[in-house]
Amino acid sequence: MNVVAQILAVLLGLTGIGVGILESFFYRHPRLFPIFRIRPEDRRAVRLWVVNQGFYNMVFGLGSILGVILVNTGEVVVGRTLVLFVAACHIVLGIVLGVSEPKLWRSAAGQAGLPVLVIAATLLP
Protein backbone atom coordinates (compact mmCIF):
# COMPACT_ATOMS: atom_id res chain seq x y z
CA MET A 1 0.00 0.00 0.00
CA ASN A 2 1.49 3.32 -1.02
CA VAL A 3 1.86 6.30 1.31
CA VAL A 4 -1.02 8.26 -0.24
CA ALA A 5 -3.39 5.32 0.27
CA GLN A 6 -2.25 4.97 3.88
CA ILE A 7 -2.76 8.67 4.60
CA LEU A 8 -6.23 8.58 3.03
CA ALA A 9 -7.12 5.41 4.97
CA VAL A 10 -6.06 7.01 8.26
CA LEU A 11 -8.05 10.13 7.35
CA LEU A 12 -11.06 7.92 6.62
CA GLY A 13 -10.58 6.25 10.00
CA LEU A 14 -10.28 9.52 11.90
CA THR A 15 -13.33 10.91 10.11
CA GLY A 16 -15.35 7.84 11.03
CA ILE A 17 -14.28 8.06 14.64
CA GLY A 18 -15.04 11.79 14.79
CA VAL A 19 -18.48 11.44 13.23
CA GLY A 20 -19.19 8.44 15.46
CA ILE A 21 -18.35 10.44 18.57
CA LEU A 22 -20.68 13.24 17.45
CA GLU A 23 -23.47 10.76 16.72
CA SER A 24 -23.09 8.70 19.89
CA PHE A 25 -22.38 11.35 22.47
CA PHE A 26 -23.42 14.76 21.14
CA TYR A 27 -26.55 14.10 19.08
CA ARG A 28 -28.60 15.92 21.76
CA HIS A 29 -26.79 19.19 21.14
CA PRO A 30 -29.08 21.67 19.32
CA ARG A 31 -26.31 22.74 16.93
CA LEU A 32 -26.20 19.19 15.55
CA PHE A 33 -29.95 18.81 14.97
CA PRO A 34 -29.74 20.04 11.37
CA ILE A 35 -26.89 17.64 10.57
CA PHE A 36 -28.72 14.64 11.99
CA ARG A 37 -32.08 15.93 10.75
CA ILE A 38 -33.75 15.52 14.11
CA ARG A 39 -36.03 17.78 16.11
CA PRO A 40 -35.55 18.43 19.83
CA GLU A 41 -38.69 16.48 20.70
CA ASP A 42 -37.34 13.43 18.82
CA ARG A 43 -34.13 13.06 20.82
CA ARG A 44 -35.39 10.16 22.91
CA ALA A 45 -36.93 8.40 19.92
CA VAL A 46 -33.74 8.50 17.84
CA ARG A 47 -31.35 7.63 20.67
CA LEU A 48 -31.16 3.94 19.83
CA TRP A 49 -30.34 4.33 16.14
CA VAL A 50 -28.07 7.36 16.42
CA VAL A 51 -25.92 5.87 19.20
CA ASN A 52 -25.72 2.54 17.40
CA GLN A 53 -24.85 4.25 14.11
CA GLY A 54 -22.16 6.24 15.90
CA PHE A 55 -20.52 3.11 17.20
CA TYR A 56 -20.67 1.54 13.74
CA ASN A 57 -18.77 4.56 12.44
CA MET A 58 -16.20 4.40 15.25
CA VAL A 59 -15.60 0.67 14.71
CA PHE A 60 -15.23 1.13 10.95
CA GLY A 61 -12.86 4.03 11.65
CA LEU A 62 -10.75 1.88 13.94
CA GLY A 63 -10.77 -0.85 11.28
CA SER A 64 -9.35 1.49 8.68
CA ILE A 65 -6.58 2.64 11.02
CA LEU A 66 -5.89 -0.94 12.11
CA GLY A 67 -5.52 -1.88 8.45
CA VAL A 68 -2.79 0.73 8.02
CA ILE A 69 -1.06 -0.46 11.20
CA LEU A 70 -1.14 -4.04 9.91
CA VAL A 71 0.32 -2.96 6.57
CA ASN A 72 3.20 -1.31 8.40
CA THR A 73 3.87 -4.27 10.69
CA GLY A 74 4.29 -6.85 7.95
CA GLU A 75 0.69 -8.02 7.50
CA VAL A 76 0.31 -6.26 4.15
CA VAL A 77 -2.37 -8.48 2.62
CA VAL A 78 -4.52 -8.52 5.74
CA GLY A 79 -4.17 -4.79 6.34
CA ARG A 80 -4.82 -3.87 2.72
CA THR A 81 -7.88 -6.13 2.66
CA LEU A 82 -9.22 -4.54 5.83
CA VAL A 83 -8.77 -1.02 4.43
CA LEU A 84 -10.46 -2.00 1.16
CA PHE A 85 -13.35 -3.63 3.02
CA VAL A 86 -13.98 -0.58 5.21
CA ALA A 87 -13.79 1.75 2.22
CA ALA A 88 -16.15 -0.44 0.17
CA CYS A 89 -18.64 -0.53 3.06
CA HIS A 90 -18.65 3.26 3.23
CA ILE A 91 -19.24 3.51 -0.51
CA VAL A 92 -22.22 1.16 -0.29
CA LEU A 93 -23.58 3.00 2.75
CA GLY A 94 -23.17 6.35 0.99
CA ILE A 95 -25.15 5.03 -1.97
CA VAL A 96 -27.85 3.68 0.34
CA LEU A 97 -28.07 7.05 2.09
CA GLY A 98 -28.40 8.90 -1.22
CA VAL A 99 -31.05 6.53 -2.55
CA SER A 100 -33.05 6.37 0.67
CA GLU A 101 -33.02 10.14 1.24
CA PRO A 102 -32.12 12.12 -1.88
CA LYS A 103 -32.15 15.38 0.12
CA LEU A 104 -28.99 14.11 1.81
CA TRP A 105 -27.04 13.79 -1.44
CA ARG A 106 -24.20 15.94 -0.05
CA SER A 107 -23.86 13.70 3.00
CA ALA A 108 -24.01 10.64 0.76
CA ALA A 109 -21.30 12.05 -1.50
CA GLY A 110 -19.21 12.87 1.55
CA GLN A 111 -19.64 9.40 2.95
CA ALA A 112 -18.64 7.72 -0.31
CA GLY A 113 -16.14 10.24 -1.73
CA LEU A 114 -13.13 9.70 0.52
CA PRO A 115 -13.52 5.90 0.41
CA VAL A 116 -13.46 6.03 -3.41
CA LEU A 117 -10.14 7.86 -3.16
CA VAL A 118 -8.87 5.29 -0.64
CA ILE A 119 -9.71 2.41 -2.98
CA ALA A 120 -8.24 4.16 -6.00
CA ALA A 121 -5.01 4.99 -4.17
CA THR A 122 -4.79 1.48 -2.68
CA LEU A 123 -5.14 -0.19 -6.05
CA LEU A 124 -2.39 1.93 -7.58
CA PRO A 125 1.10 0.42 -7.49
Nearest to 86 by CA among 14, 2, 4, 3: 14
Largest distance between two CA atoms of the chain: 51
Residue 124 is predicted with a pLDDT of: 86
Q: What is the pTM of this model?
A: 0.88
Per-residue pLDDT tens digits for 13-55: 999 999 999 888 887 787 877 777 777 788 788 888 889 999 9
Every domain of the chain and the residues it spans: 3-123
